[in-house]
Structure 1
């Protein structure tokens, strides 16, 4: 057994973080439960399985801490969360990009603000209920690996963590399938054993991203409407704001008339300044190259990765794409060039490209540009 650590267990009020806290204590660590108050105006009750940061969640976390037998506190990080996650989310959509707020929250809140505060208070590590595994490599560096339960694996949203953060992290659930976690919670007497998982974006409780953005952005949006056009420039319809669209979107276009060949149309491009949204057939969404900026490496900065196990994942639960990855430039301005050996569809600037070597996470980068794959004539 490793030496006992002083551990902050980040407790969301869900089953995963509760069992993670219980396991950390059972492993002999000195554990303190902390619930993060991330909303400035928390709702009294969650809507189904959506949302988080509610009063109900805080109460569930407190009850779980009582059952486990650990101290419990609430840390108010709502201002930091609003600035680093919510404002970033709004700004990215307003600029025509598609952000992932879960990655940003892990980077800026859970493993930066929380970890920094924990270390300042004399704690050694932060434990969370994320499904991922940590190993120490032959070079002594801490490696981040996929979880045993592929359906729940969350290594993608942890791909922003660097070596210093990984050295102070614990993921007690990485080797356990989710059904076993629920059974263990019930056996431990945790009332959250059957609580539904949260889905979608936590601060958009009803799941209506477009409606939420329309309400929050208001006059801050670069345009209040524009044209929906086909690839020839023909106007097919109008919209109320580019922030309601993402690359690859099919539903909600409201064009009123089908394509000449009867096939569905998809969003191919978004130009936020002019407000133009371009649509076309799905095959024109194929991408075989990406450029990434602001990379975050879990360990040593790679040069070129082109082995048989090198893959890139472009969505939280998306498929892996075989790839060749090249890192160029100085540390302060590195660029990641990615050639996809398996074309991807519906990839937008702002999304994260997380690089894997087998099951190990190498790092991540924010997509700044895509290269469309050649489309053969029908």
Structure 2
């Protein structure tokens, strides 16, 4: 029997993570992280509202386990929200869920849990772990590939994976809902969270505008022809088609990139990327061998895995897409490398080539 801390967001997945571990006989303690003052009663939210904290406590009471609320709001604001704003200001497109797991919800909580004497940290992430005879732990996609969250945990290292538990990764979401209903949990029918938890309105442009102000600049075609103007490059992301404020063209234009305050747009074909450079690269086990085949990569949370070839240089890698080319890849996104269904690691995209 292990002493396990379970991160309880107040959603279905963390509910069942806690329940499954209790039923396996572990000594379980639930912890809810207060990370943002998100109003209650918002559809699509499932980790940061007062309602979520209450739901997590109800589940813990039903399970008969100790439950605490830890205030991580300052760390979240500094390491996730400020990073989000700074990235957009610099012309990058960050993934706040990756940053949250990397810096707060998984990594920082793991450190706190181990420091408090727990043997393991458990979460409701849909991933699976497989351990070799020599103790090496491998991070794999879950049973329910439609809920796969390996993309946001690519930065997990061996020390962390050995002290982690992800019990829901062995079950499909529909199965978890049925199991929660059978046990009478208030979260059984709760919808999945979506959108950015610290932007409850869903208005990312408005959120950024309030912090970055008006920063006008031109919108130009790929050949340099000026087509219009804008009030802030941070309002646009690579691949965006709507809301550009330009019209009367022979075919739609998409944002292909930003440079300073200049937004460049092009046709759909101009979005195709042949290669990317990623930095701050980490590996869950060890870096792939030079020239190793059979590798794929994702450039989005729910993106398709595409065949790639890697050229590694320390914590930097150049990635060439050897088959289908992804569209609309932006600096700031995470690039995550796989071999079959195993997540090998990844990094942050810093440059793209077309």
Question: Which band: TM-score by shorter chain?
Answer: over 0.9
Q: Note the alpha carbon deviations across 1:77-116, whole angstroms, 9 max, x for none.
A: 0000111111111110100001111111111112221111
Match of 2:17 in 1: 20
Matched, 1:295 2:277: no
How far the C-alpha of 1:51 sits from its partner, in A, is 6.1
SS in 2 for 1:344: coil
Normalised TM-score (structure 1): 0.91
Q: 2 CA distance for matches of 1:338 and 1:42?
A: 38
Match of 2:313 in 1: 328
Normalised TM-score (structure 2): 0.97
CA RMSD after TM alignment: 1.3
Match of 2:88 in 1: 93
1:270 to 252, 258, 263: 258
Asked whether the 8 Å contact 2:11–2:47 carries over to 1, the reply is no
Q: Note the alpha carbon deviations across 1:317-360, whole angstroms, 9 max, x for none.
A: 0101101112113xxxx211111112110000110000001111
SS in 2 for 1:214: helix
Q: 1:153 to 1:313 in 2, by over 3 A?
A: same
1:348 to 306, 320, 330: 330
Q: 2 CA distance for matches of 1:96 and 1:79?
A: 25
Query: What is the 5 A alignment of 1:194-209?
Result: 194-209=189-204
Q: 1 CA distance for matches of 2:134 and 2:89?
A: 43
Query: What is the 5 A alignment of 1:304-323?
Result: 304=290, 306-308=292-294, 310-323=295-308
Q: 2 CA distance for matches of 1:51 and 1:128?
A: 14
Q: 1 CA distance for matches of 2:163 and 2:139?
A: 12
SS in 2 for 1:173: helix
Q: 1:51 to 1:254 in 2, by over 3 A?
A: farther
2:240 to 227, 246, 249: 249
Asked whether the 8 Å contact 1:268–1:284 carries over to 2, the reply is yes
SS in 2 for 1:36: strand
Match of 2:320 in 1: 339
Q: Unaligned 5+ residue runs, structure 1?
A: 373-378
Q: Note the alpha carbon deviations across 1:198-228, whole angstroms, 9 max, x for none.
A: 101111112211111111333xxxx611111
2:351 to 351, 365, 369: 369
Structure 1: which 4+ aligned runs deviate by more than 6 Å?
none
Matched, 1:54 2:49: yes
SS in 2 for 1:339: strand
How far the C-alpha of 1:235 sits from its partner, in A, is 1.8
Asked whether the 8 Å contact 1:315–1:352 carries over to 2, the reply is yes
Q: 1:46 to 1:158 in 2, by over 3 A?
A: farther
Asked whether the 8 Å contact 1:297–1:364 carries over to 2, the reply is yes
Matched, 1:240 2:228: no
Asked whether the 8 Å contact 1:51–1:203 carries over to 2, the reply is no
Q: 2 CA distance for matches of 1:184 and 1:99?
A: 35
Q: 1 CA distance for matches of 2:243 and 2:88?
A: 17
How far the C-alpha of 1:139 sits from its partner, in A, is 4.3
Asked whether the 8 Å contact 1:17–1:129 carries over to 2, the reply is yes
Q: Which has the higher mean CA deviation after the structures are superposed, 133-142 or 276-285?
A: 133-142
SS in 2 for 1:287: coil
Match of 2:248 in 1: 258
Asked whether the 8 Å contact 1:51–1:204 carries over to 2, the reply is no
SS in 2 for 1:122: coil
Q: Unaligned 5+ residue runs, structure 2?
A: none
